[in-house]
Amino acid sequence: MILRKIYNPNLFFSQFQILNELKFAKIEKTDRCPTAKIKRFVLPLTVDLTQVQNGEDLLYKNRFSVNVKSVSSTRKGIEIQLIPEDLVPETLEFPRLNYEYSGKKYRYLYGLGNEYLHPNKILKIDTESRDVVVWKEPGHFVSEPIFVARNIHLPEQEMEEDDGVVIFTLLNTSPYNTVQLVILDGKTFKELARIKFLTKGEVVEGFHGIFVRRNHQIIRY
């Protein structure tokens, strides 16, 4: 079993620590935001623990098709100690994928990256090759990316996982009354279109979002 988890190593153990770090009093003292990275854990499910010595790495008993480098899974008495690895060096927040692959093996991941206090770039991560494609525009903040599959009615064997578009909003750092909707090609990450709005008042950064198809009457999560 391969698990991928987004976490901040300094805030991993307590939700209360996370909330404490996000207080305005602390954020205002820095130009950087607490960052998170995507970690990969590997847990062998077919290993007979009675055949594994204490302290032995279970991964040596298995062969994986994924590109695993420094991850380990070690027997410690009656427990298994998992040590993850960084999947990519970039920071990542708000991870999304093609939800036609939800609960299945997937390859591509989309999310937010940040170099400063606010997220300022969109990432596409290949979890097999570890390649990262970045889209950014200076002087703007980005919102959570949403992947929309091009054709969900094709047979599964004919579907391509990244065949679709990635949608997100783009806010000017100044003035705050300009907001844009940007659409990228899911495969190439090239811009396909954008719509620009001028508002009467300031627009704050977005948080979560969903895409609802025309024939969807009920959305449940």
Q: Is the pLDDT of residue 22 over 80?
A: no
What distance in Å separates the CA atoms of residue 180 and residue 80, rounded to the nearest whole number? 48
Per-residue pLDDT band for 212 (boundaries 50, 70, 90) equals confident
What distance in Å separates the CA atoms of residue 176 and residue 155, rounded to the nearest whole number? 44
pLDDT digits (tens, 9 = 90+) for 84-113: 888 888 888 888 999 888 888 899 999 998
Q: Return the domain boundaries, the chain.
A: 1-87, 91-221
Strands (E), the chain: 2-7, 37-42, 72-76, 79-83, 85-86, 93-96, 108-113, 121-126, 132-136, 140-142, 146-149, 164-172, 178-185, 191-198
Do residues 176 and 140 touch, judged by C-beta distance below 8 A? no
- Cβ count within 10 A of residue 22: 12
Which one has a higher pLDDT value, 168 or 199? 168
Write out the binding residues for Fe cation. 208
pLDDT digits (tens, 9 = 90+) for 113-124: 886 667 889 999
What distance in Å separates the CA atoms of residue 71 and residue 40, rounded to the nearest whole number? 7
Do residues 41 and 59 touch, judged by C-beta distance below 8 A? no
Do residues 193 and 180 touch, judged by C-beta distance below 8 A? no
Question: In whole numbers, what is the pLDDT of the chain averaged over residues?
Answer: 79
Write out the binding residues. 208
Instruction: Give the pLDDT of residue 221.
Output: 44
C-alpha dihedral sign at 43, 49, 54, 57: negative
Q: Is the pLDDT of residue 1 over 70?
A: no
pLDDT digits (tens, 9 = 90+) for 40-58: 888 777 777 777 788 887 7
